Amino acid sequence: MNYNERMQKVAVLGAAGKMGSGILLLNAIELADLSLLPENKGKTFVVYAIDVSEEALSGLIRYVRAQVLKAAEKKIMWLREVYKDRADLIENGQMIDEYINHVMSLIRPSTLIESAFNANCIFEAIKEDPDLKVSILKKINENNPNQPWFFTNTSSIPIQFLNEKADLNGRIIGYHFYNPPAVQKLVELIEAKNTLPEIRTFSFELAKKLNKIIVESNDVVGFIGNGHFMRDIIHAASEVERLKSQYGFVEAIYMINKVSQEYLVRPMGIFQLIDYVGIDVCSYIMSVMNHYLPQENIVCPLLNEMLALGIKGGQYADGSQKDGFLKYEKGKITAIYNLDSKEYVALEQIQAKVDALLGEKPTAIVAWKSVVGAKNKEEILQQFFAELNKMNTLGAELAKAYGSQSKAIGKYLVSSGVAKSEDDVNKVLMTGFFHAYGPINNYFN
Amino acid sequence: MKNLRKKVYITAGYNTISMGTGRKEFNPKKPRPGLEEYIVEAGKGVIQQIGDASLIDEAVISNFQASRYNNQANLAAFIPYIDEKLRYKPVTRVEGACGSGGMAIATAVRSILAETADVVLVLGVEVQNTVKAVYGADILAGAGWYKDRKNGHVHFFPGQFSNRAGKYFEKYGREITRKAMARWYKNAIENARLCPTAQEYHNTMPDPEAVAMVEPNPKVFLENITVYDCSKVSDGASALLVCSEEGLKKIQKSYQESVEIIGIGQAMEDITKPPIDPTQLDTTKVAVSRALQMAGVSINDIATVECHDCFSIAGIMAIEAMGLAPYGKGAEFVLEGNTARNGRIPFNTTGGLIGWGHPVGATGVHQAVTIWEQLTGKAGDAQINIPFDRPYGLSVNMGGDDKTLTSIVYKKL
């Protein structure tokens, strides 16, 4: 079965979820594009969008339609070529509509797992629950006569565990997209012990078609991305713990969030990122990692305290941010949660005071947005961090500690055999987390 | 060729801002003024200069595709919306694609000549930023023959002129032509920076000519032209009054505040036919020579030109069609500096379509307003010197691919 044949029947499990919807979108577009190639004329391509929630599947269809519209507008030059023999399609707008209808016609939304019994490729993006994943993969494998290949989006569970428990005989690979899958370039690829070599080859081919960059990670829980992120959270939380007695809890959260964004030139502060991913998701990933890494203590009581109060972060169905450590209005941070008083404290109440405590900002400070795409990025960052390293304000000291710890985590991922190289670690943070520079660098010594 | 049977003047011109990318205040995600607001602003801008709308006898409104950009037709009935004193006045709406504005002035001139009116309000308007460029391209393609659309480029008109540029390159040399196109862009930007209503007024590029020398890339746009060779998508309106001698008296405008239209040439070519020679603008040539002949002046008597540079290559070809340079020598003419604002015959002194903007149905009217400003000393920072022995201006307004032309010769009074 070649690439085209294998892609004729695809299933996405958890298709209406945050990751699943993006994975479904990418697959639906890829299937549509394949089906429009002259050599595939007359062949049927379908993607089964499987999810437990009828309501979420309706939302999924709306999401996909809106996203395909954007994609179609971008590929209009190609569409004019593809539809050149369609006498009924004359204007750009007509071709865009036709393409959207075509993509939508390939999607089979369903709440029934049985739909996957017919697929060749199964992308799994269900809840990060090992037992649930095993039971579903096992069930599909037992009932699907096609010897399907499984692509799991797990960000933390070892692939070998799923392979063994679901009796997949190497027909599985970790294919870990980053959030949102339609935008983020990175796919972490993780092989189980006996993953079939042809699945790995196919994975690279697919990534190329989806315009993704693959970084291979070893099959160690958390892999590279979460391996760094979760340990980064633990450092941030321990800093808050240390600072709160002197400055107060809200103030400490503000400090670390600000330092981790502005002083480290990252797209988001660490607490904003936790809220974005979801406090519950982060906590769950940590518990899985902690289970598999008994020699290390991967726990963060701070996350659990928030969860105990029902504060989870994450996003609403329309993509807007739910409140977590921080409160958001139209995407902007307006307040910080106070664990002691159990209410949000408006930013303006503490901002000026804490900014003064952090001290003068480095004069060369630059916004992540203006650096990330700059041609002379390296030069800008060198200059900025050289200045930062000479400063001894509270802000600079926290930043230096944070950057050094991030670097240590990066190095640990290589020395402990998770990542194959320092370069891979940097690539994951830059393409999966949009960092302007990798954690393993010469800025922090 | 008949001459104008009586004197015709224009006065009281007004331009709104040409709104679109490039203007600091433009934000595609925020609400903006619509068709009505532009019509009202330009109309009131004229009326304010005469004090009383009831002095206007009739109006002509020009627009290309409001029915698609704004879901609005029947634009003639928006004229009374400007001022209640315009209620029940006769109004005609004209459409000739990008040549609509010139057509509106020609229509107004006919009313004056027919002696059915002494003061005619001419107002051109287009509001294009209601749709993304990919759909705007479909709407603009309506300026060509619908049956040619299927085989055209995503961006239909840029595609047509990229093809023309390709043929021109083959015949006369790519390098010199690309250089002249980049110089055209530089002139457009530098002139636009002097005109507060220009779309490129805020442009701060240190070296626009160097920027415009970027190689065309057919994978992302077109084979022979870049975005710097194209006019942008614009919202805007322009208006003026076309008057008889009696009309000027009625509205109490002096000669110093007015210019005379001494020649007008219209010419239309079959929209279903490809150009006979894609390196030439034949219809432009006919319209300009007609206007000059009627005016009784030669192209060498003209002090300034407003030319229809929807694409830089169209500007270069127009130079040749006007007879300012032989065929194949338009690029050289530009590179020698003749069309720059300090050159022998400054072109597009507020930026033209590329620099000032191209609100399609308004463009022909905007050109006339600009010439009126220059010949009456009202051009502000963009003012050029009008030599006493060459007191004439020329405008060339083109619809479609050299299909719907109006050229006008203006005289300083």
Residues of A in contact with B149 (CB under 8 A): 90-91
> What tokens were used for A184?
């983020």
pLDDT, position B372: 98
Please indicate, yes or no, if residue A49 is contained in any of the structural domains: yes
- Total tally of structural domains belonging to chain A: 2
What is the ipTM metric for this complex?
A: 0.92
Same domain, A213 and A229: no
pLDDT, position B25: 96
A311: distance to nearest CA of chain B, Å?
Answer: 33
Same domain, A313 and A186: no
Same domain, A206 and A247: no
Residues of A in contact with B150 (CB under 8 A): 87, 90
pLDDT, position A320: 85
With CA atoms as reference, the chain B residue closest to A86 would be B150
Domain extent at residue A13 = 3-217
Q: Of A217, A239, A260, which residue is a domain's last?
A: A217
Q: Which of residues 147-176 of B touch A (CB under 8 A)?
A: 149-150, 153-154
Nearest of A308, A321, A380, A349 to residue A18 by alpha carbon: A321
Please indicate, yes or no, if residue A439 is contained in any of the structural domains: no
Give the residues across from B238 on adjacent strands: B15, B124
Residues of A in contact with B154 (CB under 8 A): 76-77, 80, 92
Same domain, A75 and A171: yes
Same domain, A95 and A138: yes
CATH code, domain with A212 = 3.40.50.720
The secondary structure of A315-377 as a DSSP string is B-TTSPBPPSSEEEETTEEEEEEETTTTEEEEHHHHHHHHHHHH-PPPTT---HHHHHT-TTH
Residues of B in contact with A87 (CB under 8 A): 150
HSE, CB side, 13 Å, CA atoms: give it for residue A176.
26
Domain extent at residue B403 = 1-413
Does the distance separating the beta carbons of A91 and B141 come in below 8 Å? yes
Alpha helices (runs of H) in A145-193, residue ranges in sequence order: 159-165
CATH code, domain with B365 = 3.40.47.10
Please indicate, yes or no, if residue A152 is contained in any of the structural domains: yes
A34: distance to nearest CA of chain B, Å?
Answer: 20
Does the distance separating the beta carbons of B154 and A80 come in below 8 Å? yes
Does the distance separating the beta carbons of A91 and B138 come in below 8 Å? yes
pLDDT, position B163: 97
* Cα–Cα distance, B298 to B319 (Å, whole number): 14
Residues of chain B with pLDDT under 50: none
CATH code, domain with A345 = 1.10.1040
Does the distance separating the beta carbons of A77 and B154 come in below 8 Å? yes
Please indicate, yes or no, if residue A202 is contained in any of the structural domains: yes
Please indicate, yes or no, if residue A445 is contained in any of the structural domains: no
A273, A261 Cβ separation under 8 angstroms: no
A101: distance to nearest CA of chain B, Å?
Answer: 18
Residues of B in contact with A96 (CB under 8 A): 134
Q: Of A217, A240, A256, which residue is a domain's last?
A: A217
User: What burial class does residue A332 get, using C-beta atoms within 10 Å of its C-beta: 0-12 exposed, 13-18 middle, 19+ buried?
Assistant: exposed
**Could you tell me which residues come within 8 angstroms of residue B345 by beta carbon, excluding any fewer than 6 positions away?**
B302, B303, B304, B305, B324, B338, B339
pLDDT tens per residue across all 445 residues of chain A: 899 999 999 999 999 998 999 999 999 999 999 999 999 999 999 999 999 999 999 999 999 999 999 999 999 999 999 999 999 999 999 999 999 999 999 999 999 999 999 999 999 999 988 999 999 999 999 999 999 999 999 988 999 999 999 999 999 999 999 988 998 999 999 999 999 999 999 999 999 999 999 999 999 999 999 999 999 999 999 999 999 999 999 999 999 999 999 999 999 999 999 999 999 999 999 999 999 998 999 999 999 999 999 999 998 867 789 999 999 998 899 999 999 899 999 999 999 999 999 999 888 888 899 998 899 999 999 999 999 999 999 999 999 999 999 999 999 999 999 999 999 999 999 999 999 999 999 998 7
- Total tally of structural domains belonging to chain B: 1
Same domain, A209 and A329: no
Interface of A with B (CB under 8 A): 73, 76-77, 80, 87, 90-93, 96
**Could you tell me which residues come within 8 angstroms of residue A162 by beta carbon, excluding any fewer than 6 positions away?**
A130, A133, A134, A137, A150, A152, A154, A168, A172, A192
Nearest of B32, B38, B389 to residue B239 by alpha carbon: B38
pLDDT, position A366: 86
Does the distance separating the beta carbons of B149 and A92 come in below 8 Å? no
